[in-house]
Amino acid sequence: MSIVLFILLFGLIIINVPIAFAIGFACLTYLWFMDINLALVAQRSAAGIYSYPFLALPMFVFAGVLMEHGGITQRMMRLANAMIGHIAGGLAAVTVCGSALFGALSGSAIGDTAAIGSIMIPAMKAKRYAAGFAAALQGCSGVLASLIPPSLTMVILGATGNISIAGLLIGGLVPGILMAAALITISFIISKRRGYGGGERAGLREFIAALSDSVLPLLLPVIILGGILGGIVTVTEAAVLAVVYAFLLSVVIYREVKISDMMAISMKVVRIAVPVQLIVAISHLFAWIITTEQIPQQLTGFFSAVAPDPLTFLILLNFLLLLLGTFMESNALIIILIPILMPVVVQYGIDPLHFGVMFVVNLCIGANTPPLGVTLMTAAKIADVRFAEASRAVLPFLAAMLLVLVLTILFPQLSTFLPHLFM
Amino acid sequence: MGQPLFAIKKTIIKLVEWMLMLMLLAMTGVMFGQIIWRYLLEAPLVWSEELALLLMVWMTFLGSALMLERKEHVAIDVFVDLLPDGLKRLMQILGAIVILIFNCALTYGAFVIAETAWESLMPGLKISGSWQYIGVLLGGGLLTLVSLEALVHALRGTSGNEVAQ
C-alpha cells in the first residue's frame, strides 16, 4: 500500500497538482483503502499546524517583509559596498555579502534573491558583468538566507524533525560563512580573468556613515541570536520580537512604511507563509501514515544492507537529495522526507544537528541546479537572461557549493561545534 | 460567471483579505503580550499561546483558499509544459478533480470533528475545542468553492482569469 501512496504522490506532483493537495489526495486514498475514518484528514491537518514552533514561521516572514519594505535593503547594500566594493569583481562580492547580511534579516532564499537581485543585478549589468554571471551569482547568494540565522528553512526543518531549532539556526552559521567565502573566491577568479572591474575604494568616512546607517537593522540578528543563545526567549518569541522591532524601525523610525501599506504587506506575508503552512498541516497526516506503515524501519533495513557505516549512508543520501532537490521545492522536500529519514539517521548514530545542517546545504545546491533550480530561475528572471545561459554560468559556483557540502559531510564539527558550545 | 456571482466572489475575497490581515496582527500582538506579561510583569498569560495557535490554524486554511484562487500554491509545472495541448488540458482537468475531491473530504471531516468536539473545552481560552475546526471548515468550504470554479474553467477550457469581464 505504501508503494501506491508514493506513486500517487509523485504522479500528482508531476501533473502540476500543488504539492499540498497532492499529499492530501494521496493520503485520502490511503485512508479510503484502509477503511479509516476520512474525518482524520481534517483532524490531523488542524493538529499539524497547531504547533508552537511553527508559529515562528509566519512571524519571521512578517519581520522580513517589513524590513524589505522599510528601506533596509539599500542600507545593507551601502554597507557591503563600503566594505568590499573596491576589489576586482567588487560588485560580485557586494552581492554575496549583501545577500548574507539581508539573509540575516529576511530568512527566505527566494525573497532574498528577489530583494538583493533587483538592486545588484542591474548594477552588475551596467558595469558590463555578463548577465548570465550576474544571475548565477545572485541565485547562489540568495540561498545563503537558508543558512545564515534566522533561517525559515531551519525553523521548518527543526519543527518537522523535532530537532532543536535554536541549535539548527546557529549550526548553519559556519557553513553559511564558508559558502559565502567560496562564492566570493569563485567570482573573484572569474572577474579577474574577464576584467570585471572594482569600484572606487570607499573612504573611512563613507564606511562609518554606512555602518551607522545600518546599525539599527543590524541589531535585529543580534537581538534574535542573543535572545535565543542567552536562553532568554524561545525561537518563536524571538521571531515575535523581530516583528515588533522591524515594525518600529520601518514605521516609526525610518517612516518608509505607512499604516495603509499594512494590507499589501500582510498579503505578501500570506503569499510566502501560507502555502508552506498548508503543506505542513496536510503533511501531518502523511507523517502519521508513514509511521503506521513503518516505512522508516523498512528504509533502515534497506540502508543497513547497502550502507554499513554512517558516512556511506550520508554520501548515498546526498546523491539522492541532489537529484530530488533539482525538481522539488526545498520546504516540501523537508516536510516529506524528514519524518521518513530521521529515525534512520538516529539508527546510524548521526548527530541530528549535523544531519539537519547538511540537509539544508544540500538543498541550497538543488535550488540552483538546472533544469529546475527555483532561486536560479528567480535570478534569471530579474537579470532578463535566458535560463540556459544562467545555467551555464552557474556551474563554477555549483562546484564551490559542492565543496562546502563535502566539507559539511566530512566534518560534523562545522555544524555542531557552535550549537554545542552555547547549549 | 454571471455578474451577481462575481460580485459575491469579490466581496468574499475582500472579507478574507481583511480577516487575514487582522489575524496576522492579532497573532503578533497576542504573542508580544505573552512576552511582556511573562518577562516584565511576571504574570504569564494562560490563554495567549492557544489564541495565537488558533489564529494560525484559521490563517492557514482561509489563506489557502485565497492562495488557491490566485494559483500561488507550490506546484511543479515544467513537466506538463512539455506535453501537447490536448494532453495538458486533460491533466489540468484531472488535477482540478483531485483538488476538488480532497477539499470536499477536508470540509466534511472538519464538520464531523467540529460537531464531536463541541462539548470539549480549550484549557486556556475556556472556549469550545470546536473553534479550531471551524477555521478548517470555513477554509475548506471556500477551498471547495474555489476548486469547483477551477474545475468548471478546466472543463470549459478557460483560464479563469477573464472572469472580470
pLDDT in tens, A271-328: 888 888 898 888 888 888 888 887 777 877 888 788 888 888 899 889 888 888 776 7
Question: Which of A15, A30, A329 to mutate to probe the B interface, most B CBs <10 Å?
Answer: A15
CB distance B62 to B16 below 8 Å: yes
Average pLDDT of chain B?
87
Neighbours of A252 (CB within 10 A): 9
Which tens digits make up the pLDDT trace of A321-378? 888 877 677 777 888 888 888 888 888 889 999 999 999 999 989 888 877 677 888 7
How many Å lie between the alpha carbon of B2 and the closest alpha carbon of chain A?
27
Q: What is the pLDDT of residue B163?
A: 46
**CA distance linking residue A95 with residue A107, whole number of Å:** 16
For A223, the grid coordinates are 537581538
- Alpha-helical (H) ranges within chain B are 3-35, 48-69, 85-116, 130-156
**CA distance linking residue B165 with residue B157, whole number of Å:** 16
Q: What is the pLDDT of residue A183?
A: 93
How many Å lie between the alpha carbon of A373 and the closest alpha carbon of chain B?
11
CB pair distance less than 8 Å for A270 and B24: yes
Question: Which of B21, B48, B56 to mutate to probe the A interface, most A CBs <10 Å?
Answer: B56
CB pair distance less than 8 Å for A15 and B79: yes
Which residues in chain B have their CB less than 8 angstroms from residue A58's CB? 24, 27, 56, 59
CB pair distance less than 8 Å for A267 and B35: no
Nearest to A15 among B34, B54, B80 (CB): B80
CB pair distance less than 8 Å for A331 and B113: no
Instruction: Return phi, psi of residue A380, to 5°.
Output: -65, -35
- CA dihedral for B102, B106, B107, B111, sign (positive or negative): positive
CB pair distance less than 8 Å for B113 and A24: no
Q: What is the pLDDT of residue B103?
A: 95
Mean pLDDT of B17-27: 95
Question: Which of A45, A224, A244, A265 to mutate to probe the B interface, most B CBs <10 Å?
Answer: A45
Beta-bridge partners for A321: none
Which residues in chain B have their CB less than 8 angstroms from residue A371's CB? 78
Q: Is the pLDDT of residue B102 over 60?
A: yes
Which residue bears the cell 487582522?
A: B22
Mean pLDDT of B54-70: 94
Task: Tell me the pLDDT band of B165, cut-offs 50, 70 and 90.
Answer: very low
Beta-bridge partners for B121: B128
**CA distance linking residue A290 with residue A250, whole number of Å:** 44
In which residue ranges of chain A is pLDDT below 50? none
CB pair distance less than 8 Å for B102 and A28: yes
Angle, alpha carbons A87-A90-A93 (nearest 5°): 115
Q: What is the pLDDT of residue B137?
A: 94
Which residues in chain B have their CB less than 8 angstroms from residue A46's CB? 57, 110, 113, 132-133, 135-136
User: ipTM of this model?
Assistant: 0.92
Among residues B18, B6, B110, B109, the alpha carbon closest in space to that of B63 is found at B18
Q: What is the pLDDT of residue A301?
A: 80
Among residues A332, A308, A314, the alpha carbon closest in space to that of A405 is found at A314
Q: What is the pLDDT of residue B159?
A: 65
CB distance A413 to A177 below 8 Å: no
Q: Is the pLDDT of residue B61 over 50?
A: yes
CB pair distance less than 8 Å for B32 and A51: no
Radius of gyration of chain B from Cα atoms?
20
Q: What is the pLDDT of residue B68?
A: 92
Question: Which of B15, B24, B32, B50 to mutate to probe the A interface, most A CBs <10 Å?
Answer: B24
For B36, the grid coordinates are 511582556
CB pair distance less than 8 Å for A274 and B75: no
Q: What is the pLDDT of residue B160?
A: 57
